[in-house]
Amino acid sequence: MNADLHCHSTVSDGTLEPEAVAARAHANHVELWALTDHDELGGQQRARDAALALGLPYLTGVEVSVTFAGTTVHIVGLGFDADDAALRDGLAATRGGRRERALEMAEGLAQAGIEGTFEGALHYVGNPELISRTHFARHLVERGICSDTQEVFRRFLVEGRPGYVPHRWATLRNAVTWIREAGGIAVIAHPGRYRFTPNEEYALFTEFKAYGGRGVEVVTGSHTKAEAERYAESALEFDLLASRGSDFHSPDESHTDLGSLPPLPPRLQPVWEALEDRVQRPGR
């Protein structure tokens, strides 16, 4: 099954409107889709309506920013009730502070000689509550300061660089609880991206399970083949469901297109099998 359960629209830091992401997923032969904007459900109704109009089965989705062991970790939620009040309130609280952080980022960049980046980044923002590092990256590329967004992150937007401002996101416990109590399944996003020690990674998986987390992304646009194999082992070791998603943001930036992923490695239980009754299908 060509499931793509991780991607972004203009409602967070993607460049396509939710309807355009749906159309692209459909054109790329995705058979089950979830839009997972960062910390925000504002695109869910639009994504669902567009998907069902195309005959594309849909799962609700979100990617929650979490601070764990001093690092930002992302938790994807799938198949929850998008009207759940506790989830909506939790996400609103998680979005809070992004504007202040962005002003501090601009201050740091100004001290490094690059003025006016807050206004510049805002120009790329679709949702004013969701100004993110990605929007700064696009602005610096537009100004010719870097040749692509990867270079901006490397030079300016990661720890130790002038535009980096640490931020306190949701707790792991809260993120998992919001998703679970809204009827969804929580999934550890792209575990290969975190720079954890083996002990920290073990703690992440163990605590995640203890709070009721049930899945891990094994095949994602952020993983090499070796990482997919490694986290397939983790899924088996921790008895977690396996997820699959491109993490598509933009036709110009994302190296993995919607639906263009290898299959899950054998022996894993796909997360969508446990979400059968949460899938929204055309004509229902």
Positions that interact with ligand AMP (CB under 6 A): 13, 38, 65, 132-134, 149-150, 153, 249
Q: Does 138 bind Mn ion (CB under 5 A)?
A: no
Nearer residue to ligand AMP within complex by CB, 10 or 132: 132
> For residues 47-60, b (16+ Cβ closer than 10 Å) or e, as one string?
bbebbbebebbbbb
Q: Smallest gap, in angstroms, from Cβ of residue 282 to ligand AMP?
A: 30
Q: Does 4 bind Mn ion (CB under 5 A)?
A: no
User: Among 92, 81, 136, which residue's Cα sits nearest to residue 114?
Assistant: 136
Both tokens of 38, joined, read 């960062």
Q: Does 217 bind Mn ion (CB under 5 A)?
A: no
Report 5-34 residues binding Mn ion (CB under 5 A): 13
Nearer residue to ligand AMP within complex by CB, 24 or 133: 133
Q: Which does 37 bind (CB under 5 to 8 A by kind): Mn ion, ligand AMP, none?
A: none
Q: Are strands 185-188 and 71-78 parallel, antiparallel or unpaired?
A: antiparallel
Both tokens of 124, joined, read 């790329």
Q: Which does 150 bind (CB under 5 to 8 A by kind): Mn ion, ligand AMP, none?
A: ligand AMP
User: Among 225, 188, 219, which residue's Cα sits nearest to residue 203?
Assistant: 188
Q: Does 135 bind Mn ion (CB under 5 A)?
A: no
Nearer residue to Mn ion within complex by CB, 85 or 133: 133
User: What are the strands, taking DSSP E only, across the chain?
Assistant: 3-4, 32-33, 61-68, 71-78, 185-188, 215-220, 241-245
